Structure 1
Amino acid sequence: MAHRAQPVAAGLAAAALILALAFGTLGAVAWRAEGFGALAPADWAAIRFTVLQAVLSATLSCILAIPVARALARRNFWGRGLLITLLGAPFLLPVIVAVLGLLAVFGRSGLISEGLTWAGLDPLDIYGLPGVVLAHVFLNLPLATRLVLQGWLSIPAERFRLAAALGFTPADTRRVLEAPMLRTVLPGIFAVILLICMTSFAVVLTLGGGPKAATVELAIYQAFRLEFDLARAAKLALVQFALCGAAAGLAFAVSSPAGMGAGLDRAVARWDSATRHARLADGFWLGGATLFLLVPLGMIVAQGLAGLTDLPASIYAAAGRSLVTALGSAALTVGLALPMAMAACRLGPRLGGAVQAAGTVSIAASPLVMGTGLFILLFPVADPVALALPVTALVNAAMALPFALRALATAVAEIEAGYGKLADSLGMSGGIRLRLVLLPRLRRPLGFSLGLSAALSMGDLGVIALFADSSQATLPLQLYRLMAAYRMEAAAGAALLLLCLSLGVFWIFDRGGRAYAEA
């Protein structure tokens, strides 16, 4: 039927575009490499450091998330909901802003170093591996905590009631109930964070501290931007794609559903946590995690307010370019995700699953790999620098697509299950079906998807670092240049401006979607 073919065709076209972007750029990189050849010792060092810092960061994030998530799961206190909400903030926080906040606390001139100097000790030096791991834990500990917390909350209250009736000690509860849950959820969480850390460019660019702390993505940037050695950049891009593909495959392979069964949705009462020792331990972990996450954010605000008066005019121009790019990226993200979600619903589990898999393939494709491939493709026919902002918006949209697609695909499937047959019987198809049936009920996930993709694009320091000159720089790139020039007061003001813009665009879109949905 024609009305069924329309969303399917649009969704397949969107999936084909993403596949072409991911594998077409990879093919261009492979073609430009002119044979894989031997990697230099510096390239092997970058590969080893990439894997080392990612493994350390993912391991520490998961280990620290366990006691924090346990404390949140078994304690009910004033502000608990707000704390859980704040745990989602670092995911929207621009990486370059997070780095500046960490430097304000842990850097050579930070709060801790000032205290050490006052005590007659040497200041901290977080550049290199320690700084990279610290920043990754700061950014990913909240994500790991939220995911582990979901695992804890998935254990039905009846299991804990039965454990109490059987006289389980806290050690028995950990062994029989909590350990099996952790064995189920932790491998997938570890693999996801491993992938995130492998593709973290801005952290290593600002905190790497030298050639010994260079990841593959930083080596791509140096080969491309500083040396203009496209062949080396292409070879490294292939290596990065292979690493990310392996990490993404691991994430999908080890993901498994929870096996605790269903309960009666009763509130969980934790008799095993009533001891003084348990209360002190939970307070320690919650207090420590709160300080670790909120003190750098507070320093960003405090120093940024003082630095707002020192901002050059170029910062505001860069902020405007960032905002335009973010809005374009958000529109592209939803423009791709919505038809793919509709096509996945129409095509059924097998073919629809293939469409959704095509939408998530960008997880394995590093932004710098895509950027390198697009530069190679555009260079013979156009000036890539002149197209820096559109290319950045396109790549950012591809990287945000998996999150938007997951939110929209579930919502579209629920709407079609509830209203699809009625819409078919009324002959509603095409734009009418979209306008009257889907869009009014998709405002929540659409608002969330637009806000998330816009916020992620606002704070991105990846592809734009490859392409842009001084006239095309976005706010994150200008912020990095201020930091490199040791203009830290102006950098703090720019960081606060970037933080407000990133959180602001997310709030406007997300709140707008929820407001219309409640009308």
Structure 2
Amino acid sequence: MPRLDQLPGPLLLSGLLAVSLVAFWALMGWGRSAADVSLLSEPWFWQVLEFSLVQALLSSVVSVLLAIPVARALALDTGLVAKAWFLRWCLLCFVMPSLVLITGLVALFGRSGYLTPWLGEHWRFYGLNGILLAHVFLNLPFAIRVFCHRWQMIPETAWKLSSQLGFRTWQTFWLVEWPVLRGVIPAVAGFIFLLCFNSFAVVLALGGGPSASTLEVAIYQALKYQFNPAEALFLAWTQLLIVGVLYVLFRRLGKLEWLSPAQETGWRPSQGAAITLIGRCAYGMAVLFLVLPILTLLPAAMRVNLAVFPWDELMQVTLRSLGFASVASLCLLVCVVGVFSVWRQSTSARRRAIIEAIALHHLMIPGMVLSVGIYLFFLPYLSWHEWGWVAIILLNTLVALPFAFTQLKPAVFEYDQQYRRLVSDLKLGAWRHFYCVYVPYLRPTLQRVLGMSFVLALGDMAIFSIFGRDEWRTLPWLIYSLAGSYRMADAALAALLLMGISMLVLRVLEPNNASK
């Protein structure tokens, strides 16, 4: 058995734990500053907490309810056009940098938006309305892919049996489809709830004031605007406790499959005309909702004054963003391969469970909370103005590690089941086995992980908000500053560039391209 990276693997696991322990130590106050528990008596704290919970709940419920008819149509209606394209677009929408979407939504629904005149004089985009629109846009595609995957898991024999027994549409749904869906709906809703509860960029850009603020934004303001560590510590602990409890509850609901490509599994039951029409209308509206904000960027960007546009700044910011994202995604690959080198060498199920827990424990720690802990711990010892870029890369790597681990685990497990004994019999050297057998087998999954982690790091706002500075501005922060200065045409052009880079990276690293 190859014994690659035996020493770096345990050191890597120790480092992952050390980062979290350092953050927790800082959150405990580490003898310098304690959490300001007096905030419990402040009305604004309860208002922020209530809004954080309400907007997350509404976003998750709306996303799930809208996703069900669209996913059913995708799975059962063989007459739908562009299904494969739409599912790929859903994947891009889910990982899309938030500032791209925000710019498109502002161009559509903002004060001077294309659709604003038809929404009435009482329409207000900034606040809960805008936040819900953005969160549903970002999370509806995820729910659609999960539910579509579940519908496609229903065996062909079940459909044929229901048809032979003469089941009506509602009977087929209740007896065949609902048992497959009911177990995953709470998990999807819970996962979306956590994503929206931890949302930062959307609320920061579209909140519109203190009445529409969340814990993440409040932490950022306490640390960067007021520099009140005690308040930031209390808010961070509040968020950590809520997210931790909810994560433990939702974790019991099972794993969600959403990256798997759509699979046509043969025979499908015929649908009534009314059901087919409803499904196709839902599908059409979903396509319109998910495409229109991005298409709106094109006419908005065409209004740019090319003579005064800051081309030099855009080039510098773009190259810097590409550098940060590239290093973070490559570091992620090194980390996840190192973690699996230890995981594969472990024969004990208990030890494997411990390693998996170490790799996944950052799911329980929001990126903003982790950033605050690291920021406060090292503040007395180093200048973040000089070393903040290191933290940006490191924390983007850690935040994406649970995703990379969960995506690679099935492939690594399958590899060991098929080739572990053969590789042992061939007595291949560690490096030869690694580069000639192990990596080529995992290449499609590694490509997917690399592309997704790159796009996530490219669109980061939360971590950069704590450690970043104007001299290191990234593309999302440039878009945010341009939009904040009411230079919407310039912001739209920068957003199109960010969107184009994301699409290009995902396309180039799409596993299907590996064989072309």
Class of the TM-score when normalised by the shorter of the 2 chains: over 0.9
Q: In the alignment, is the contact (CA less than 8 A) between 2:35 and 2:233 conserved in 1?
A: no
Q: What residue in structure 2 maps to residue 37 of structure 1?
A: 37
What's the TM-score, normalizing by structure 2?
0.92
CA distance in 2, matches of 1:54, 1:444: 34
Q: Which whole-Å CA distance do the structure 2 matches of 1:307 and 1:327 have between them?
A: 29
**C-alpha distance in structure 2 between counterparts of 1:165 and 1:268, whole Å:** 13
Q: Deviations over 1:177-233 (max 9, x none)?
A: 222222111011111111111111000000111111110000000000100001111
Q: 1:80 aligns with which of 74, 79, 83?
A: 83
Partner of 1:22: 20
Q: Does 1:281 align with 2:284?
A: no
Q: Quick one: which of 50, 62, 65 aligns to 2:64?
A: 62
Any idea what SS the aligned residue of 1:505 has? Answer: helix
Whether the 8 Å CA contact 1:57–1:133 is kept in 2: the answer is yes
Match of 1:293 among 290, 294, 308: 290
SS in 2 for 1:31: coil
Residue 95 in structure 1 maps to residue 68 in structure 2: no
Matched, 1:199 2:198: yes
Listed one character per residue, the Cα deviations across residues 472-497 of structure 1 (whole Å, up to 9, x for unaligned) are: 11111111111111111111111111
How many aligned positions are there?
Answer: 502
1:501-512 correspondence runs (5 A) = 501-508=501-508, 510-511=509-510
User: 2:362–2:398: 8 Å Cα contact kept in structure 1?
Assistant: yes
Structure 1 regions of 5+ residues with no counterpart?
259-264
1:423 to 2:423 alignment: yes
Pairing partner for 2:515 from 507, 511, 518: 518
> How far apart, CA to CA, are the structure 2 residues paired with 1:175 and 1:300?
42
**Deviation, structure 1 residue 151:** 1.1
Query: Does structure 1 retain, via aligned residues, the 8 Å contact 2:146–2:256?
Result: no
Question: Any residues of structure 2 matched to 1:163-312 within 5 Å, and which?
Answer: 163-255=162-254, 267-271=266-270, 273=271, 275-307=272-304, 309=306, 311-312=309-310
- Percent identical pairs in the alignment equals 31
Q: Label 1:85 to 1:266 Cα distance change in 2 as closer, same or farther (>3 A).
A: closer
Q: Contact (CA 8 Å) 1:94, 1:459: kept in 2 or not?
A: yes
Distance in 1, matches of 2:253 and 2:309, equals: 47
Q: 1:454 to 1:308 in 2, by over 3 A?
A: farther
Task: Say which is worse superposed, 189-198 or 429-438, in terms of deviation.
Answer: 429-438
Equivalent residues of 2:302, 2:489 under 8 A apart: no
- Post-superposition offset of 1:266: 5.0
Q: 1:71 aligns with which of 70, 73, 88?
A: 73
- Which letter does structure 2 place at the counterpart of 1:186? I
Which amino acid counterpart does residue 181 of structure 1 have in structure 2? V
Shift of 1:256: 6.8
Q: Distance in 1 between matches of 2:222 and 2:97?
A: 25
CA separation of 1:335 and 1:461: change in aligned 2, threshold 3 A: same
Q: Distance in 1 between matches of 2:128 and 2:489?
A: 26
With normalisation by structure 1, the TM-score equals 0.92
Aligned equivalent of 1:261 = none
Correspondence 1:478-497 to 2 at 5 A: 478-497=478-497
Moved more, 241-250 or 164-173: 241-250
Task: Give the 5 Å matches for 1:361-400.
Answer: 361-400=361-400
| SS of corresponding position for 1:480 | helix
CA gap of 1:266–1:437, structure 2 versus 1, over 3 A, is closer
Which residue of structure 2 lines up, in the alignment, with residue 411 of structure 1?
A: 411
CA-to-partner distance for each residue in 1:271-330, whole Å, 9 max, x for gaps?
3x1x22112111210111010000011112332354383531322211111111000100
The one-letter code sitting in structure 2 at the alignment partner of 1:302 is P
Amino acid at match of 1:43: F
Counterpart in the other structure of 2:448: 448
Deviation per CA, 1:348-397: give whole Å up to 9, x if none: 43322321221111112111112111211221221112222221111111
Pairwise CA distance, 1:115: 3.3
In 1, Cα distance between equivalents of 2:22 and 2:450: 26
Shift of 1:341: 2.0
SS of alignment partner, residue 125 of structure 2? coil
CA 1:353–1:75: 2 relative to 1, 3 Å:
same
d(CA) in 1 for partners of 2:485 and 2:251? 42
Alignment-mate amino acid for residue 50 of structure 1: S
Q: Shift of residue 429 of structure 1?
A: 4.3
Pairwise CA RMSD: 2.1
Hey, what does 1:262 align to over in structure 2?
Answer: none
Shift of 1:410: 2.1
**Corresponding position: 1:472 with 2:475:** no
Q: Distance in 2 between matches of 1:42 and 1:397?
A: 34
Distance apart, 1:430 and its partner CA: 3.1
Partner-residue secondary structure (3-state), 2:38: coil
Deviation at 1:414, TM superposition (A): 2.1
Question: In structure 1, what is the Cα distance between the partners aligned to 2:115 and 2:197?
Answer: 28
Q: Partners in 1 of 2:387 and 2:148 — Cα distance?
A: 43
Q: By how many angstroms is 1:346 displaced?
A: 2.5
Which position in structure 1 is the counterpart of 2:260? none
2:261 maps to none
- How far, CA to CA, are the matches of 1:355 and 1:7 in structure 2? 15
Question: What letter corresponds to residue 398 of structure 1 in structure 2?
Answer: L
The residue matched to 2:383 in structure 1 has which SS?
coil
